[in-house]
A = this chain, B = another copy of it.
Amino acid sequence: MDQAALKQEISNRFGSPCAVIDLDRVEANIAKLQRQCEAAGVANRPHVKTHKSPVLAKMQIEAGASGITCQKLGEAEVMVDGGLDNILISYNLLGAEKMERLGALSRRANISVVADNPVVVEALTEAGRVAGRPINVLVECDTGQERAGVETSGEAVTLAKDIASRPELSFKGFMFYPPVEGWPITQTLYDEARAGLADAGLRAEIVSTGGTPNLVNIGQLDGATEHRSGTSIFNDRMMMDCEAATLNDCALHVYATVVSRAGPERGILDSGSKTLTSDPGGLDGFGHILEHPDARIKGFSEEHGFLDLSACGPKPEVGEIVRVVPNHVCVVVNMMDRLVTVRGNEIIGELPVAARGKIS
């Protein structure tokens, strides 16, 4: 079928709006990331926060990934249920409920977690007791994001020694998420920490870097053993903006319908913040409409996308189905219970977003 027929068929079968991924593009993106990691001499540990699907995670493993990254314990549980193993949970976990769950999960699979402070380290010992074996812990280091992570090599080494001194824990290494321009200071911090570790008779088995925009830097940290990239499996307007992807690399489109044209210069898309999310991603407008690149999604209600059509030549009519490349694809996937799969203009089926909404 042609593209117009595909859009109509997707609307008829799955309703509108609907998130659609092209498996040809997904496979190409998976293969490209694997090549980039191999060329840089680091293992590929893709971040599943973008797709939240054990099926897609397994495709990444089959392409050569050494393991996966999850941001939440609940995501890791879904992935282990789906048959995945060797999982890094790149987040400070805290609380009795989480320690019980982490301990139980660590009995079923090879799980590593991170810590950036002694309260989290202390808490993790309880998970080790539940697991009946040491919990693998990396020290998260911050080199400019000002998010989580210790800021100095001194703190990193102190925390590493604290972890290594506890029988319920096993020190595994360091996790970095540097800004694109922050790799030189990352190298400095790591070199100092490596020396501090050596003095204490310790070594970092895993040195993890991350970020899809950081694929331009991959391999540039001497000592890095792996890289975590999430968004590259689907890509989005943010990745286009930082030149990590082209429009053709964007594998997920939200198929949406124009449902109102109450003014000559404006219209309403049936996709609002509950579908495309209010995450601006630092960009102008809230998505790129393939059929009308000069239409601007200027804002949202929950179910309304406000279209400014003033710069648009032939303007969309009520009933027209359009495809939107979202600003930030990870948060859009999290709004979906399923992704429809296609190859070119052929419908393949659908995939549940099994780890959607795992906030804890």
On A, residues with C-beta under 8 Å from B are: 11-18, 49, 71-72, 91-98, 101, 116-117, 119-120, 123, 142, 146-151, 257, 259-263, 266, 268, 270-271, 273-275, 277-280, 301-304, 306, 317-319, 330-331, 334-337, 356-357, 359-360
Taking the closest CB of chain B, its distance from the CB of A124, in whole angstroms, is 12
Could you list 20 A-B pairs, sorted by A, with CB under 8 Å? A11-B97, A12-B97, A15-B97, A15-B98, A16-B97, A17-B360, A49-B302, A92-B260, A116-B260, A120-B259, A147-B260, A147-B262, A148-B268, A148-B304, A270-B360, A273-B331, A274-B331, A278-B278, A336-B357, A357-B357
Within the assembled complex, what's the spacing in Å between the Cα atoms of A262 and B318? 51
Work out how many copies of this chain go into the complex. Answer: 2
In the bound complex, residues from chain B placing their C-beta under 8 Å from that of A49 are 302-303
Max count, chain B CB within 10 A of own CB: residue among A14, A271, A303, A318: A303
Q: Do the beta carbons of A357 and B335 come within 8 Å of each other?
A: yes
In the bound complex, residues from chain B placing their C-beta under 8 Å from that of A92 are 259-260, 268, 270
Within the assembled complex, what's the spacing in Å between the Cα atoms of A301 and B151? 19
Taking the closest CB of chain B, its distance from the CB of A49, in whole angstroms, is 6
Q: Of B142, B277, B318, which one neighbours A119 at CB under 8 angstroms?
A: B318
Q: Of B13, B94, B336, which one neighbours A319 at CB under 8 angstroms?
A: B94
In the bound complex, residues from chain B placing their C-beta under 8 Å from that of A262 are 116-117, 142, 146-151
Interface residues of A: mostly helix, strand, loop or mixed? loop
Within the assembled complex, what's the spacing in Å between the Cα atoms of A262 and B119? 12
Known A277-B277, A280-B278: A16·B360 in contact at CB below 8 Å: yes
Within the assembled complex, what's the spacing in Å between the Cα atoms of A189 and B142? 58
Within the assembled complex, what's the spacing in Å between the Cα atoms of A98 and B116? 50
Within the assembled complex, what's the spacing in Å between the Cα atoms of A270 and B358? 12
Known A275-B359, A359-B17: A91·B263 in contact at CB below 8 Å: no
In the bound complex, residues from chain B placing their C-beta under 8 Å from that of A149 are 260, 262
In the bound complex, residues from chain B placing their C-beta under 8 Å from that of A142 are 262
Within the assembled complex, what's the spacing in Å between the Cα atoms of A13 and B261? 49
The 9 closest A-B pairs by CB, nearest first: A15-B360, A148-B260, A92-B259, A119-B318, A278-B279, A278-B278, A15-B97, A71-B303, A275-B359
Taking the closest CB of chain B, its distance from the CB of A89, in whole angstroms, is 11
Q: Do the beta carbons of B259 and A94 come within 8 Å of each other?
A: yes
Q: Do the beta carbons of A359 and B330 come within 8 Å of each other?
A: no
In the bound complex, residues from chain B placing their C-beta under 8 Å from that of A257 are 94-95
Q: Do the beta carbons of A95 and B303 come within 8 Å of each other?
A: no
In the bound complex, residues from chain B placing their C-beta under 8 Å from that of A16 are 94-95, 97-98, 360
In the bound complex, residues from chain B placing their C-beta under 8 Å from that of A330 are 302
Taking the closest CB of chain B, its distance from the CB of A359, in whole angstroms, is 5
Taking the closest CB of chain B, its distance from the CB of A131, in whole angstroms, is 18
Known A16-B94, A306-B147: A336·B359 in contact at CB below 8 Å: yes
Taking the closest CB of chain B, its distance from the CB of A81, in whole angstroms, is 16
Taking the closest CB of chain B, its distance from the CB of A17, in whole angstroms, is 6
